[in-house]
Chains A and B, each alone.
Chain A
Amino acid sequence: MTLALKTTDLTKTFDIGKRLIGPPRAQVRAVHPVSLDVKTGETLGIVGESGCGKSTLARMLVGLTPPTSGTIEIEGKALDRADPAAFGRLIQYVFQDPVSSLNPRKTIRQIMEVPLRLLHGLRGRALDARIAELFDAVNLRPEFLTRYPHEFSGGQAQRIGIARALAASPRILILDEPVSALDVSVQAQVLNLLAELKTEFNLTYLFISHDLAVVEAVSDRIAVLYFGSVVETGPAEKVFAAPRHPYTKLLADSAPVVGRPLGGAQSGELPDPLNPPPGCAFAGRCPRASDLCRRDVPELRAVEGDQFAACHHPLES
């Protein structure tokens, strides 16, 4: 198995209150050192709550946000945007808000043509044929091409967004909350479509979501993010069924499930990013926290087999 994507100690720090000259007033660490790898053909699900750094991480992987430190390797080579065309053919991004990711002043055809022309140099009849093929792949009718984005519902717009990403013929697709703006009946359509496309085009997915059940349904492996750090990784069927990190367990218990009493109603919130605590960021909410947790940041290490947790006192299975 080759690696499609590998990050080593990737971090991102944002400056708060920039000044014309001199250092900024404060800094926020959005992503703490994150090391992840995604195998070719795999779907890695990334799950976390708002403010955990999952979107920042995803944007760094496609070069939209420059990392503060650390390295990103795509198919064994360091991330390199020197040739935007070559980079665009390697990795693409599907955005959360399908309507805002389409330029309101362009027709769908104009939107679809851009990656085909710039990344693959297609013109004329070959271009039309490729657009027809892509629209067929995402189950959209060709007459949509002459319309403008505001004429579409969320589910249709998201299919267009996926078709545009596929137009680049990428090998890796970063999906940033691709279904969270959609209704459940449409969400299932889009998730199934993504699964079909993955087999059809041999894609590797990085699937980001805050919805545990959705992530579990589509992923091979899952990484749980909390406060900018990976706190647990493991196979999809194990992470929520037998969580090792107390935060993963809290997440799993909080998800509303029919027939289960209201649970996980533990108080507590994310720490203040401007004033992060020493040690484990979850210690303040954790029933198992000890003095060690409040002092030392736990490293991500193997708990059992391929399940990793960044915890001093991991849960037993």
Chain B
Amino acid sequence: MSLFLRLLFRNRLAGFGAVVLGAIVVLALLTPVLPLHPPNATNTANRFLRPLSEGHMLGTDHLGRDLLSRLLWGTRLSLAVGFAAALIAGLAGAAIGVIAGYFGGRTDNVTMRGVDMLMAFPYILLALAIVAVLGPGLLNALIAVAVVNIPFFARNIRGVTVGIAHREFIDAAKLAGMGHTRILLTEVVPNIVPVVVIAMSTTIGWMILETAGLSFLGLGSQPPQADLGSMLGEARSALITAPHTSIVPGVMILLIVMSVNLLGDGIRDALDPRLRSGALARPMATTRVERASTPAPRADGLLRIDDLETQFQIGKRVYRAVNKVSLDLRPGECLGLIGESGSGKSVTALSVMGLVASPPGVITGGAVRLEGRDLIGAPYELLRSLRGRKVAYIFQDPLSTLHPLYRIGDQLIEAIRVHEPVSHAEAHKRAVRLLEDVRIPNAAARAKAYPHELSGGMRQRVGIAMALANDPDIIIADEPTTALDVTVQAQILALLSDLRRERGLAILFITHDFGVVGQLCDRVAVMYGGRIVESGPTADVLAAPAHPYTKRLIACVPELGAGRRVLAAIPGLPPAVDDLPPGCAFAPRCHKAQDACRKGEIDLQGAERQVRCLFPEMAQ
């Protein structure tokens, strides 16, 4: 709750709205106890007194009634009607939406078509028709405004409910013996309350306006009762001679609706989890760099990463996702980077080309040298010319990296023409050739397909073709086969292996699977808690792991062909990178940990075969 208020008031306009609306609500609540003239006492001798007259601060209207008193009583009524209408519309609409969305099928079809019919009428016409049937009166105007707004809530809530009704916790509730009513009330409704609140807060101003509109037409509150709409309606005839009688209620309506809307927008932003996490903040074109010094180049290589540090700074917390990572990739080599989720392997890969989203990502140290040239802090134009041409990426989920609305051939053509000024026809020819290179059967025809028309394996082949489009020297493959089935994974791995040999590609292959690393990579580096804990030639590391983490992680993985057995597990959980222990990050889970492991930096030792451990495993 305090978080909610903090988020709300961080938005200045919403805070302003809250203050104004709060003041108006307090005034309206206090109206009966304030020393005011009776709102309906006429005094025709004093009609149309100007504001600031003796005894009448805001003047009087055409019957000599005190405007201040009528304004406050009218505001009280208009607010009450507006809130009541929003509440009724919200509850009825939510009920319809929840039932339609949860039960689906025919129930959904029938109710939602009914709602659609209600929506087919212009709202004011519908409200007029309802009032015409029920007769004029404030209560009937309230009903009309509520009914007119039900479809908006019903449709909104139905959409949200459909999403929730297919979640697994609903299935779990069914299996726990809950009936439909109970599931609706205890499982579904709590999840849609924020949506209802957001929808209400953004429509309540609208409903106050609609009620005022009906009263203005004489269909809402009846004389002598005052509400803001009827005050405006009565003042209409004296608009020129006594403008203050119109301006006073007009300004109040403006204030109420404006403050409600500002506050409503603030509430929506504060309650929406996506906005809270800053997802709508536009990331910069390259990762922000705050680097004190540049480490001296250690050796030549195609791609050298030296002491790279990448952090995520969220509020006061600092997540050290990548902590002094050094890697080097030689021409034509495949380097495996292996680790569990949260170990920093993907962030390392994204940092190379400045692709980590900023905010919150910041590169705080180290260097990434491509053929000797430092890329950290390089101008955007340079990075852009290198992205795809020198270093290309393949990502895990090709469905989300390919644009769903363009044919795959056109996407390939675009990728080619970004870096090379070739004609469309020439680019098309090369696109088809690329698709053939990644062994997509019937490539010319498939170039016309949209991503959703291809299977997962075929889409990943297209992803690889995209990466190859500009003949890069390096491919960074971030878990390219994790989302694929095992038979398809084998095909893609074989393809990558062949392409690498044919084209002399260097591959940085990120994975969590030792089997994949063992089959594809020349060398492997193991990451844990943002650091490299071990690296070396793949066969050596897999056969005789030196770091206890590597050794036990390999033992965890069940291997095919060993039959039924108990698996060796590592107790505990991987560390959170915003709260790393001093010393070795693996020490809390390590059976060999000594006191020395828990303090001070531990260096990566060795040359070709490196390990970050004080008590490395001995080779048998």
Contact = CB atoms under 8 A, between A and B. Distances in A.
Interface of A: 20, 49-50, 59, 62, 64, 84-85, 88, 92-93, 95-97, 100-106, 114-115, 118-119, 153, 155-156, 161, 164, 167-168, 183-189, 191-192, 195, 210-214, 216-220, 236-237, 240-241, 250-267, 269-270
Nearest to B170: A103
A256 B490 contact: yes
Given A185-B553, A214-B558, 12 more contacts: A95-B171, A118-B176, A188-B556, A188-B557, A188-B558, A188-B570, A213-B557, A250-B487, A251-B487, A257-B515, A262-B490, A265-B495
Interface in B433-478: 439, 441, 455-458
Given A105-B190, A118-B178, A192-B569, A185 B515 contact: no
B168 A62 contact: no
A114 B491 CA distance: 46
A134 to B, nearest CB: 13
A115 B171 CA distance: 13
B341 interface: yes
A218 B564 contact: yes
A267 B491 CA distance: 7
Interface stretch (B95-103, B233-241, B516-524): B516-524
A255 B515 contact: yes
A40 B564 CA distance: 18
Nearest to B439: A267
B486 A254 contact: yes
A189 B441 CA distance: 43
B164 to A, nearest CB: 9
B494 interface: yes
A237 B560 CA distance: 10
Contacts of B456: 50
B179 interface: yes
Contacts of A191: 558, 567, 569
Interface of B: 106, 109, 167-169, 171-179, 187, 190-191, 340-341, 439, 441, 455-458, 485-491, 493-495, 497, 512-516, 518-520, 542, 552-553, 556-571, 573-574
A62 B175 contact: yes
A189 B494 contact: no
Given A183-B341, A259-B518, A195 B558 contact: no
Given A49-B487, A191-B567, A93 B561 contact: no
Nearest to B485: A49
Contacts of B168: 95-97, 100-101
Contact of B493 (A92, A195, A256, A266): A256
6 contacts: A93-B175, A103-B191, A105-B191, A210-B486, A217-B563, A259-B518
A154 to B, nearest CB: 8
Contact of B518 (A167, A216, A217, A257): A257
Q: Which of B514, B552, B560 has the most CB of A within 10 A?
A: B560
A120 to B, nearest CB: 9
A217 B570 contact: no
B486 A64 contact: no
B486 A217 contact: no
B486 A212 contact: yes
Contacts of A103: 169, 173, 187, 190-191
Nearest to B193: A105
B573 A216 contact: no
Contact of B519 (A20, A96, A168, A256): A256
Contacts of A62: 175
Contacts of A118: 176-178
A187 B574 CA distance: 13
Q: Which 7 residue pairs spanning A and B have beta carbons closest together?
A: A256-B515, A265-B494, A258-B518, A188-B569, A118-B177, A254-B490, A49-B485
